[in-house]
Amino acid sequence: MAWQDDLYQQISRALPAPASVRPHGSVLTPALLDGWSDLDLHVHTPETVELTALIGTQTIWAFDSAITNGSQVLRMVFIDGRRLDLTIDAGGRVAQPVPAADNNIRFTAAIAAAKLGRGDQLIGLHLTLDLLRRCLEQAMLLRDRDTGTSVHRHGSARDALASTIARLARRPLTIDPRPNVVELAVDLYGAWRHEGDPGYTPDWSGLDAVITRGLGVSLAGNGRRQNGN
């Protein structure tokens, strides 16, 4: 639990008075921690806090932010595969970072991988199906571009992409061996989105790090999934 404790202590020191922070979740039971574990922190503050003041120079690869029962929940995936969940109450807020163009896809993929890595196939499949649906949306946009219209009475040559997704949906709900269903799904998404928008360049390095960390493999020299490769 070295990184969880280090990050907790860093955030604790960075919070200005009278703010406070306490850990919750699996970090309270070190025997339960594994490569898929994140860090859950509950921040009590009446003020708005700058995120960089808490996490320093660590790069956020993807995130999700929501207001639940008056509290802000900010869930982050760092570029090195670590995950941090902050719950902020007492009226305070943490300013969220600028999202990447495909932030939602990135975050969904990271959580899907973590769930499947832990053997939670129900939630893992639910999230993976969302990734596949987003792939189909890109395929439909390509069909619209090909035909010059969004109104279609019949199919087109792009229908073959639906068959590709159908085959992928039958892949095993496991993370190892690789490439797994999550990685293959985001590869399709990245390729099809790039075909429709050449200015878009996929970067799955954070996902690669989540999976690599979860499987307990060394991160050294691991860049296989960067830029969709």
Predicted local distance difference test score (pLDDT) of residue 218: 52
**Residues 48, 33: contact at Cβ < 8 Å?**
no
Residue located via tokens 């979740």: 25
Predicted local distance difference test score (pLDDT) of residue 68: 86
φ, ψ for residue 102, nearest 5 deg:
-115, 35
* 136 and 43 in a common domain: no
First and final CA of the chain: distance in angstroms? 31
* 71 and 139 in a common domain: no
189: confidence class by pLDDT, cuts 50, 70, 90: very high
* 116 and 35 in a common domain: no
pTM score, two decimals?
Answer: 0.91
Higher-confidence residue: 150 or 21? 21
The pairs formed by 140-147 with CB atoms below 8 angstroms and a separation of 24 or more are 141/196, 142/192, 142/195, 142/196, 145/196
* 88 and 117 in a common domain: no
How far CA 57 is from CA of 54, 60, 85, 159, in Å, comes to: 9, 9, 17, 45
pLDDT digits (tens, 9 = 90+) for 42-98: 999 998 999 999 999 999 999 999 998 889 999 999 999 999 999 999 788 998 899
Domain count, the chain: 2
Question: 110-127: string of b/e by CB count within 10 Å (b at 16+)?
Answer: bbbbbbbbbebeeebbeb
Range of 47's domain?
2-94
* 21 and 74 in a common domain: yes
* 79 and 182 in a common domain: no
Predicted local distance difference test score (pLDDT) of residue 27: 85
* 90 and 152 in a common domain: no
Residue 138 parent element (H or E): helix 121-147
